[in-house]
Structure 1
Amino acid sequence: MNKANNRLRNITLVIIIIVLFPALFFTAYEINSLNENEEIVEGIYKQQMETLLFAINQYVFSYFESSIQKIDEILIRTKKENLVNEFEKYFSKSNPVTMISIYNLDMQKQLSFSESDINAKPILFNNKLPEHLLQDKAKIQNMIKLKRQGYRKIENFPESLFPEIENDFFVLLYVYINGDDQFLIALLVNNARTFENVIEPKMKEIATDKFDIGIFSKSGKYARFSSGEIPTGVLGVNKKVWIFPEYVFGIRFKGESISQITESRFNQSLMLILFLDLFLLAGGWFIFYNMRKEMHLAQLKSDFVSNVSHELRTPLSLIRMYAETLEMDRVKDEKKRHDYYKNISQESERLTHLINNILNFSRMESGKKEYQFEKIELNELVKEVTDIYKDHALENGFDFSTEYFEENLNITADKTALSEALINLIDNAIKYSPEEKKISIKSGQQNGFAFIEIRDNGSGIEPANHEKVFDKFFRETTGHVHNTKGSGLGLSLVKHIVDAHEGKINLKSIPGKGSTFILNFPINES
């Protein structure tokens, strides 16, 4: 048994090394890879969204570049006295540029043009513009320097510099040089028109049904949103609006943020890995369970061979001893000779019973066991079997009693198989009752079933083993039961026979106080 336990421990260790360690290593490696992959995916998503925001920024900037180009073309091709008419054509209800103010480089106003229905705010702004611009003289000097080097820089002046127009307009300033004409040109741009006519259509075009794109002030107040609704939550990627830096573009995937998407992907992948680990562990457990079961079965078979060898050797030794004694004519007393013959007969019967058990078990295991069912009377069958075993029980000092049901108990059964089941139970009752030798057999009827009850006052069976005792080769390993030799097939055969008759077997047993086996069979009403 110790060798078997050592072998089982070694196999368990091998399974752990082969299955558990690789599974743990694989899990750790895959989780680490998942983290790296999700970081890469998140980076790709962010890069994709940054590219979309770049496209919007580029579009808005190009729009105002185009507007400035148109203004420059008007100034170049038009005589001064015709500028008013040309700029009236330039202004429209959809054009974000509502006023154009032209200054010389010393900030002295030369010309001013605006749409016809301009309100008081832009006029007030126009009057105070030089005063405001001189607050950031360094920026203007840098713009003039860059223009003279051949690069036109468009500057946005913060709304905070112009409190009279804040939240309604923003100012774009650029340097115009054409021959001897050198001017600073300030554009007063309408916020609402810029959002509605320039930015919002482009946001909707790019957003499609995959993204939410918004533009909002740095204070967090939304100006426009691609879906037309104010979003909840945060936008995953934010980029400053080039043309007016006090506003910010934001973008996210619809429904979920980047972190939620990557987290969801990570969780799905993690669940898949854990499922695979569980599958591997279940496979390892299945292998271990079956190997343990097979090893246990092998041990039971080994014990079975040992027990059966002893069971066969004992009656054979007795038969040989009695036969040799009789053959050598050593027994002169006729009564004693008769006892020897009787003992030989009993041991032969015992040997036959054991061999029948083994043969029947073999047939049952191979599925070749056939039953010959017929209508029988249960009381008669019980009486036939008990009459045979009663003398044997009495000779061994047993109090053997029987009680038969007063009416006929007709059932459909294989008489030989049923007799074999009853013999096995009586044999066990005799074998496992070393001290209080009492056996009672009773037949009866209950709930449409005929039953046989075999009761003894023997060693009893542990409650935990009440189901196991019907397993093949099973034998209890404690007390007198362990010390009594047996094949471990008897109760397994009884269970098989009862099941084949569509019956039920009940066991009531208390260790040290005996056992009661009740075999129930459907009554034949015909």
Structure 2
Amino acid sequence: MTKRPINKFIIIIILALFVPILTYTIYQFVQLDENEQLIQSIYDRQLETIIFSVNQWSYDIVTNWYSEMTSVAMTDFENLMELHYEPMIKKLPEQQEVIAAAFLRFSPEFYQIGFSDRYQTTNPKRRELINKTNQVIAENSESLANAIKFVKDGYVRPLSIDWTSKQFEYTLLIFPILNDEFPGNGAIYGGLLIDNIAFINRFVERHFNALTNGEFDFAVQKKGHNDFFYYSTEEKPIGPFEQSEPLWILADMELKIKMSGTTLNRIVRERSRYNLISLILVNVVFIVGLVYVIRNVWKEMELAKIKSNLVANVSHEIRTPVALIRMYAETLEMGRIVDEGKKNKYYKTILAETVRLTHLINNMLDFSKIESKKKEYRMSMNDMRAILKHVLDMYHYNFEQQGFHIEQHIADDLPHIYVDSEAVTQATINLLDNAMKYSQEEKRIAVTLAQQGQHIVLSVKDHGIGIPESEHKKIFEKFYRVGDSLVHDTKGSGLGLSLVAHIMKVHNGKVTLKSKPGQGSTFSLIFPISHLSGV
């Protein structure tokens, strides 16, 4: 690709990125008022969410208490009038410090009540509680009928009544409990006396603080009263609250909320300042990003060039064995070779080129699977000696044909290790193939397999052109080839060593290289024993 098209492409990228960012910057200044309204809307929704969460939390707690009361009520009631529920009922006030009393109402005159000892000095008398409850039920028959419908639908909606006297500030919760075997219409009523201050302190404030991390203040106010019933700050709050909603559980109580130590106007001003700073930062990031994009585009074009060379090199590597296989096969088919020795030589050449071709295709297929993350490995206990000998036997004719002498140093009594035999075979072939490609006059390769401590090490040493130390890490990158004229004269895909590195990573091992220009190269595959095999 020439410089002119590259420059044109870079200009297009700049325009494609700069115009939108400039438009966005202008838009932000023009839309400042709308942003303020958006902030207000988001802020309101946040406050509503906090209040809803507090109410839902309180409701869930009461629902749990309802379940406990229901469990008590469902106790064997064949001899209902003889049962004594009060010890069981009293457990709930004893466990929950906010509950002053709990009761079950089977009829206007038959109650089972459990009073909390904590509220002994302030609690209403038994008869007073019964009369109050009967009065509330009589006056709210329609609401309780709806509550019964809700219970049938699986939803608890207690009737909440304020009960205030000189001794206490309570909320009376009444809820129906249904069972076809209950006397009358199959419904009784359960009830709880909730201490308002204790409930707010124990549940409302704690959950509120957990939600807001001190960023908001709240107060509770009775409807129709100017003074606050309860507030979260040390001093009485000053200024209007920004959101107010009824507390679901506590009768006639409203939960008010505002931001702590600031106002919405201040937030908007700070937001505007932050927006300006953000726009500046965005433009800075844009410039940095543009440089990054241009750099990566350049790299991608270089990669495209490398891939193009890869196709050319692979095509050349495939063409050579295919041509030989075809030529030798046609010669044999025509019957022109009579000598059996020469026939065997042709057959061996065809087999060797087939092995070479298969190796090249496997490299390409495995690379494709690795790139798409679909490559699977089949690990099992294997003998590395057997794998290496199989590779050397398979490549014997290739070595012989190209005039290579192979020195084998294979240790005895090596432990079996947990590997994928096909992957190890492929990695070994790649190393041997490289050793043959980049050897020059001295065609001698040493293959060593030995145990070193808790590792099995397979090494391939050649006496070829060698690799500069600055290239040692780079050669394991895909498509990378050493910048040497001798290397570029040798056709290759640039995938072999990257596949070797990937295979060793999968095996929790590593591949190492010792090499200097003109002194050959030694590649070593290091497989751990204990980690993989459990030895």
Give TM-score scaled by structure 1 length: 0.50
- State the structure with more CA Rg: 1
Return the structure number with greater relative CO, CA threshold 8 A, min gap 6: 1
Give TM-score scaled by structure 2 length: 0.49
